[in-house]
Structure 1
Amino acid sequence: MKKRNILLVLLMTVSFVVHAHGDKQKDKGMLKGLDTPAAKVVLAFHEALETSNKELARAQLADDVTIYEGGRVERSADEYAHHHMLSDMKYLAAMKSETLEHQVTVLGNTAISASRSHTTGSYKGKERNYEGMETMVLEKQNGEWKIKHIHWSH
């Protein structure tokens, strides 16, 4: 990413954190930018994971995507598709997840998607009940939005 885009990503991340912690009007702006083409890629990726559609999920990712989750790093779409994607799909099939907040901001050929969700369910005999956070950076490549980076945490 160019220096300017990195600065914009940092500004948007700070803006999201400030709004998430300092917004006095609780519901205002919690869902923003979801009608943008970049957001539609994020939503298609989520739906593909939830419905175990490996091809559709893979198609939303840039070839050189970097995915951070649980202290691990996957450094390409193929690496994710052949390893962790299938376990993510199995896990999500057993869970119920509700979006609490999702904001997508487009800055030229870069977009930032930041969201929080509440997940409940049982997986491998363990009850789960937690809030998760997701940050994605998207890049417009050859006229199409692709997910370039994902960071999941809970």
Structure 2
Amino acid sequence: MKIQHASAVRTARLLGLALTPLMLAVVHPEAHAMSSATNPSLQSDTANFDTPTDVVNAFHAALKRDDATAALNLMAEDVVIFESGGVERNRAEYETHHLKSDAAFSAATTRTPVSQTIASYGNLSSVMSVEFVKGTFRDRPINSRSVETMVLRKTEGRWRIIHIHWSSSAIQSK
């Protein structure tokens, strides 16, 4: 097991990607496996997205239109979300903590893509995005550069988000 882990970490470094959660999932593929028999939300969600980018775009669209059910159905139950120095350790925790404010933020702002990089390894993929975000949220002007990494796993023919890392910095007006 140590040899596999070292190989996975070495592969991540060689690719120049910060994908430790992705590589650990390669070493332990059952870590994020999901079954529609144990997760009723998978049975009721009929949308099927062909690519990880489709899932990322659908997730953002769901947040923008305040469709919590659609957004949550695109995430694995054990998704891990890093945002502003905090961590939410699963989908239920995200739903009860930041989902509503993330949806409100998305509705109040406009995202302008700068770049997007996709890296795949079998049933695992990462979508790394850079964008500018503008708008007004809670009476506060937003003008920031945002970076996002989403790691996805394909299980039972469906891509699910297993990790999100969001970071942003304000753009100073000149």
TM range (shorter): 0.7 to 0.9
What is the distance in 2 between the residues matched to 1:140 and 1:109? 5
> How many residues in Structure 1 have an aligned counterpart in Structure 2?
133
Q: Secondary structure at 2:66's aligned position in 1?
A: coil
SS across alignment from 2:17: helix
User: In structure 2, what is the equivalent of residue 85 of structure 1?
Assistant: 99
Q: C-alpha distance in 1, partners of 2:145/2:86?
A: 19
Structure with higher Rg: it is 2
2:124 is matched with 110
Q: 2: distance between equivalents of 1:151 and 1:118?
A: 16
Instruction: Output the aligned Cα RMSD.
Output: 1.9
Moved more, 3-12 or 87-96: 3-12
1:101 to 2:105 alignment: no
Pairs within 5 Å for 1:5-154: 5-10=8-13, 11=15, 13=17, 37-154=51-168
Q: Which runs of 5+ in 2 are unaligned?
A: 19-48, 169-174
Task: Using structure 2 for the length normalisation, give the TM-score.
Answer: 0.70
- Measured after TM superposition, the shift of residue 105 of structure 1 is 2.1
- Return closer, same or farther for 1:52/1:5 CA change in 2, 3 Å cut-off: farther
Q: 1:123: Cα distance to partner? A: 1.3
Higher mean C-alpha deviation, range 56-65 or range 75-84: 75-84
Question: With structure 1 as the length reference, what TM-score do the two structures score?
Answer: 0.79
% of aligned pairs identical? 34
**Structure 1 or 2: larger strand share?**
1
Gaps in structure 1 of 5+ consecutive residues: 15-34
Greater relative contact order (CA < 8 Å, ≥ 6 in sequence): 1
Q: Is the 8 A contact 1:99 1:115 kept in 2?
A: yes
1:42 counterpart SS class: helix
Task: Could you list the structure 1 runs, at least 4 aligned residues long, displaced by more than 4 angstroms after superposition.
Answer: 4-10
